[in-house]
Amino acid sequence: MPSEPTKELQTFPNPAADRDYEIAFDVPEFTCLCPMTGQPDFATFKIRYVPDELCVELKSLKLYMWSYRNEGAFHEKVTNTIADDIIRAIKPRKLTVVGDFFVRGGIGTIVTVTHEKKKA
């Protein structure tokens, strides 16, 4: 059965929750649509996080990123939404999401969202 895009991020227990370590994902084939023109926007996303109790399952991240393919989204909004959804799913200790959007009209855009869990 073929996979379908989804906004659901699957998780699994962090196998080394007693230490800080970084997980890095590179997503070089991200696409969404320009909300003004409907033309495709292309980007490379870099996601870096230090997990707490949960980690993001890789295939679900792939299907999640694919779900933006036919959506109109401003670069700033989509990068923040991706960060918010990951934060909501796994509550990481630290997270950085960088959306590096290809040049359009002579201007490239890089949006960086950072998050650090507040200590209790």
Binding residues for substrate: 56-58, 75-76
Which listed residue (18, 26, 41, 84) is catalytic? 41
Provide CB contacts within 8 A for 48, sequence distance 6+: 22, 23, 24, 25, 94, 95, 96
| Residue ranges at the known binding site | 56-58, 75-76
Round to whole Å and give the CA distance between 34 and 3. 25
User: Are 10 and 60 spatial neighbours (Cβ–Cβ below 8 Å)?
Assistant: yes
Q: Quote the tokens at residue 60.
A: 């679900």
Whether 32 is a known active-site residue: answer: no
Whether 18 is a known active-site residue: answer: no
Which listed residue (20, 26, 34, 55) is catalytic? 34
Catalytic positions, written as ranges: 34, 41
